[in-house]
Amino acid sequence: MKITGYRSLRTIHRWGRPVGDANGFLSGGVTEVPVVLLETDGGLTGVGLGAHGDVARVFPAVEGADPRAVTTLYDRMLAYVFKSGHGGTTFGTIGALDMALWDLKAKMADEALWRTLGAQDRFVPGYASGLEIALGDEALLAFYEQWAARGFTGAKIKGGLDADRDIERLTSVTGLLSRNTRRPAVMLDVNESWGRHQAVRLLARIEERVDLTWIEEPVRRWDVPGHRAVARAARAAVASGENLTGLEQFWPLLTADAVGVVQTASTWGVTHFLRVAALALGRDLPVSPVGYNANPLAHAAAAVPNHLVTEVQDLGFPVGLTVDQTIEDGGIVLGDGPGLGITVDEAAIAETAGLQDADWSHPAGPHVRPADAGLRLVPTALDPSTTGLAT
């Protein structure tokens, strides 16, 4: 079987609530979900999720190849673009194609990807995470109530703009999850919104009131001294890595012992996650994949010995995608559907064509880093009137 072509689709995810973080949020709660379909001459199609704006440039590296040679093809894609580097959009494109290749490899074996990767257990422990910074207090509890009902014992709150507000929200969610465990795991993600001058001071204030499991991206992703300073001062672990593209970007943080929980984003692909997990394992560190639509990295997480917990961001899936997994008992239960277990309904996806305001990439944001990020001296408040869910 050989790879013959690709097709790009664009669907949407309807969250049913505002979603975002300290850098901004989408009040309409609709995001874009790029899908790449990798075609073969054997009738099978591989599904990859994630932005792949450089696909026309990268695809020649895999065209005509046997899709079973996934890791060789991954390195081939990296080698193909090495002159200009593989950061950003290019790495995302490689990740989406890599995901589609793994999907094909498992489909050719007529088994679920978690089995192809060597996992024995289909259950993947998870924690709830709703991108819920714009929700008011009552809406926040209503959101996490549905996760508590599914047996979850951990949750991650988006914050970083106001430490007092973060303490209140972390405390509320801890109380809600206490029905499932005596000591819920609660995490705080500030999405690089603190400067080094703020991080140690604000985290100390929060830890006076909250038994925090980890603090996520307290400073800029590449700031090794900053991560190390926070790690030395905090009781909680420092989690980071979701925005790093390539092992070479993880190496300085791990060498400096500046990270306690090593993260990767689903958008960078399966092979990247497996390699980061091996690098972390060599230092006795746990890995935690960051959530994404359809939870594709859950298959790989099930197969690595140092997997800690996987982020789960929503109970629903993007329009036109049927996913063979359930979310229950505090995690993800993977099915036996071949490959990633994702079925694509192109007719349903076509109905989303032309929908506006459905991605993060508008010039004004919301994922445009604010000019004062890392430079704030006093708390910054969200405007509750813009969320529609504030109470």
Instruction: Report the share of the chain in percent with pLDDT over 90.
Output: 86
Chain position carrying tokens 């046997």: 66
pLDDT of amino acid 53: 95
Strands 185-189 and 325-328, sheet pairing: unpaired
pLDDT of amino acid 355: 66
pLDDT of amino acid 7: 98
The dihedrals phi and psi of 327, each to the nearest 5 degrees, come to -115, 110
188 to 116, 185, 200, 363, 384: CA distances (angstroms)? 34, 10, 14, 27, 20
Q: How far apart are the first and last CA of the chain?
A: 56
Q: How confident is the model at residue 381 (pLDDT cuts 50, 70, 90)?
A: confident
Neighbours of 95 (CB within 10 A): 29
Q: How confident is the model at residue 106 (pLDDT cuts 50, 70, 90)?
A: very high
Tens digits of residue pLDDT in 247-275: 999 999 999 999 999 999 999 999 999 99
Say whether pLDDT at 86 is over 50: yes
The dihedrals phi and psi of 369, each to the nearest 5 degrees, come to -60, 125
Neighbours of 26 (CB within 10 A): 22
**Contact criterion met (CB below 8 Å) for 126 and 155:** no
pLDDT of amino acid 389: 43
Say how far apart CA 133 and CA 148 lie, in whole Å.
19
pLDDT of amino acid 380: 86
Say how far apart CA 48 and CA 95 lie, in whole Å.
8
Predicted structure pTM score: 0.95
Whole-number average pLDDT of the chain:
94
Say whether pLDDT at 102 is over 90: yes
Q: What's the mean pLDDT in 148-169?
A: 98
Q: What's the mean pLDDT in 86-93?
A: 92
Instruction: Report the share of the chain in percent with pLDDT over 70.
Output: 95
Residue type (1 letter), 321: L
Helices then strands (H, E): number in the chain? 12, 17
Say whether pLDDT at 387 is over 50: no
Q: What's the mean pLDDT in 148-175?
A: 98
Q: How confident is the model at residue 390 (pLDDT cuts 50, 70, 90)?
A: very low
Domains of the chain: 114-340 (3.20.20.120)
What are the residues whose beta carbons fall under 8 Å from the beta carbon of 155, sequence distance 6 or more?
127, 128, 129, 144, 147, 173, 177, 184, 185, 186, 187
Q: What's the mean pLDDT in 386-391?
A: 43
Q: What's the mean pLDDT in 334-355?
A: 93
pLDDT of amino acid 356: 58
Q: How confident is the model at residue 360 (pLDDT cuts 50, 70, 90)?
A: low
Say how far apart CA 1 and CA 200 lie, in whole Å.
54
Q: What's the mean pLDDT in 32-51?
A: 97
Q: How confident is the model at residue 13 (pLDDT cuts 50, 70, 90)?
A: very high
pLDDT of amino acid 135: 96
Residue type (1 letter), 280: A
| Tokens representing residue 123 in the block | 């259950």
**Contact criterion met (CB below 8 Å) for 38 and 3:** yes
**Contact criterion met (CB below 8 Å) for 136 and 389:** yes
Tens digits of residue pLDDT in 184-193: 999 999 999 9
